[in-house]
Structure 1
Amino acid sequence: MPFVTVDGQALHYIDKGKGPAVLLAGSYLWDQAMWAPQIAALSQHYRVIALDLWGHGESGRMPECMTSLDDVARQALALLDHLHIDRVTLVGLSVGGMWGVRLALSAPQRLNGLVLMDTYVGVEPEPTRQYYFSLFKQIEDSGVISPQLLDIIVPIFFRPGIDPQSALYQDFRARLAALPADRLRQSIVPMGRITFGRDDLLPRLGELNPETTRLMCGDQDKPRPPSETKEMAELIGCPYVLVPEAGHISNLENPAFVTEALLRFLADRDPCSA
């Protein structure tokens, strides 16, 4: 499996297919495997890169120098440099969109396009931030995501009507339950605090290119509701689309819809500029 050393730690990624490059940036608590349906389809026409956040999947622990999501954007650029990729279309879901916007603002010359999914780059509402931080403290103290916390955390990621006995739901729950104490304390909890303690980028969204930016959101996303997507789309001046019958991980709850939307967006980008 391919790795690149960034800030002293091993960052895991996959690199599949040939053609214009697409970088898939996923959600907190999920690894690159969350993109499996999109990777299978997009890699038939594009070079698809997908990375694991620190402490997620096969990536190493979060580097001690990390203090903000700007660091993740810088580390992703280091990965692109390592792969000799000059320009990429970035598809960022949840925290992937939060740091993806930072990459777009810091290095706009590196992007052919930007798709932001189920994400929000304003500050976390204070009651929500305090609530999430209280969950992080419980996980840090115990070194485990307890069954009681799993009952709280897992449903956040899915639409209310999902079958809790479905493989998608149960596999995610099992992966969280199996996370070891050192990974939780060294990477997962610190990464969560960085994510939900982020600063406000809403005032800078007008700097993005509306012609090459698209927003998507599950129509039943609870942590990042469609109202946030609409707010950001208006600030950017770009279109947005709601993914039907989908919650926060919209690309897995309605993979066919999301994959088709991404293929249409990518087809609109000039492949000669990649």
Structure 2
Amino acid sequence: MKVVAAILAISISSCQSPTSAALLEPELTMSVSGGMDVLTVEEYTAGVVAAEVPYTFHHHALMAQAVAARTYVTYCLAHPIRAHDDGADVCADPAHCAGFATEAMLAERYGAEYAEAAMEASRGAAEATAGEILTCGGAPIQAVWHASSDGATASSGEIWSDVAYLQSVKSPEEAEISAAEFTMAEVKAILGGDFDGKKNLRRTLTPSGRCESLTIGNLTLTGSEVRRKFGLRSTDFTVRWRAGKLCFVVHGYGHGVGMSQRGAEAMAQAGADYREILTHYYTGAAIEKPGRG
């Protein structure tokens, strides 16, 4: 199973109090497989862990993911900012909310044996951290995560708005490296009619070493635009023309902000517990277990 990092958008710039009096709602509605399910927060948490990371990860890496997932949905319930046409609180689309899987969904993709083991590990991680969330000023944080970084995570300000608890920190995992190349015809099709076809390249970098902007010919794109247009795994890339093709070498996977899932696994394997992992990646955040009111 591959790590599946959710694409979660930042819409806050500081710690804010929740709009709901209760930080942990007993139930939530989720849009999945063309229908609507009603789940408890803990059921949702286990389903996110099962979808987002391999069950073979160290149990403290799974526990860290469980707390991040529970925090994410708690924030969504308190700040309902991500619209769903069917009125659901969350959905199972990692491009919109977070990845989510049931045992049946896992069995269909990976087989019954994998599904049973994955759900057992995921439920165990949720139960071991039951009710725990990350907070800033007593409010749930927006606990974004990504699959992997190459040496350091990105601060939220490099991509979205600056958030105190989402700063660049070192990340110990072995870098994932991928490559992509495009002919000039493909580049022209991707960039559209405004592209003048010239091969000059100029890249500027963010403080964490990711692409801030890339000038190709007469066009200048942000790193995020380059990633989206060319389908790259991250904005941490080098680029050059070689043999008439635009060639990218990409490091890491995901937006790079918040907890690195591969980094969490590396930290756990090195002896860190889930609390150390979480407080490393979410700068200054506290781990609390609020009452249900």
Could you tell me the TM-score, scaled by structure 1's length?
0.29
| Greater RCO (CA < 8 Å, at least 6 residues apart) | 2
Relative to its length, the structure with more helix (as a share) is 1
TM value normalised by structure 2: 0.27
